Amino acid sequence: MSPSKSLKERLFHALLFEIIAVAICAPTLAWLMDRPLGHMGALTLMFSAIATLWNMLFNAGFDRAQRRMGFSRTLPVRVLHASLFELGLIFLLVPLAAWWLSVSLLEAFILDIGLILFFLPYAIVFNWSYDVLRARWFEPAPAAATAK
Segment 68-113, tens digit of pLDDT: 999 898 999 989 998 898 889 899 999 999 999 999 999 999 988 8
10 vs 74, residue with greater confidence: 74
Residue ranges per structural domain of the chain: 7-131
132 closest CA partner among 88, 93, 65, 78: 78
Report d(CA 73, CA 84) in Å as an integer. 14
pTM of this prediction exceeds 0.85: no
Displacement of CA 16 from its chain's centroid (Å): 10
Q: How far apart are CA 55 and CA 51, in angstroms?
A: 6
Residue 140 confidence (pLDDT): 65
Confidence of residue 2 (pLDDT cuts 50, 70, 90): very low
Give tens-digit pLDDT for 36-61: 999 999 999 999 889 878 888 998 99
Residue 119 pLDDT level (bands cut at 50, 70, 90): confident
Q: Which residues does 13 contact at the CB level (< 8 Å), separation at least 6?
A: 5, 55, 59, 130
- Asked whether 94 and 109 are in contact (CB, 8 A), the reply is yes
Q: What percentage of the chain's residues is helix, strand, coil (to nearest 5)?
A: 85, 0, 15
As a whole number, mean pLDDT of residues 15-40 equals 92
The string of DSSP codes covering 15-63 is HHHHHHHHHHHHHHHHHHHT--HHHHHHHHHHHHHHHHHHHHHHHHHHH
